[in-house]
Amino acid sequence: MMDLWDYIFLAGMCTLPAIFLAWGYAWWRRDLVNQEEFHYEEFCSISPNDPHRPEKMLMEAAAICEARRHGRHMTKRPIIVEWDRSRNFHGREGGKLVTRGDYDVAVTAAWLDREGPKNNIRVVKR
């Protein structure tokens, strides 16, 4: 005779494959979403009056670059983004390690400067 725990175990074993199938389907659908278009719309919709506009544009351009690197793209529109090094910078100046502004934005800008040209994204330094 089966007791309550046996019924709970049996119910769990029957629903586990359905959960894994739903998770696998969601994972598969995730790759079909055009990440580049999503981030490109965000990139174009940043308000010119926003005081953090350069940082936001750099971060969105980095997201587009990452999507292009991993093949999740449909088009390769050229993107030009400005990097104001006087505002955000991480590196060596005059032999000293200097960090100005937001560290994450500065490191992302340096990465984008290195990886962007491979993915049709140009960084203009000021």
Domain ranges of the chain: 1-32, 34-125
80 bridge partner residues: 122
Q: Is residue 116 predicted with pLDDT exceeding 70?
A: yes
Q: Is residue 35 predicted with pLDDT exceeding 80?
A: no
User: 24: how many CB neighbours lie within 10 A of its CB?
Assistant: 10
User: 40: how many CB neighbours lie within 10 A of its CB?
Assistant: 20
pLDDT tens digits, one per residue of 10-27: 888 889 888 989 988 887
State the average pLDDT over residues 40-67. Answer: 80
State the average pLDDT over residues 25-34. Answer: 71
State the average pLDDT over residues 64-89. Answer: 75
Could you tell me whether strands 79-83 and 121-125 are parallel, antiparallel, or unpaired per DSSP bridges? parallel
Q: Three-state SS for 28? A: helix
Q: Is residue 75 predicted with pLDDT exceeding 70?
A: no
Query: Whole-prediction pTM value?
Result: 0.61
**Confidence (pLDDT) at 32:** 62
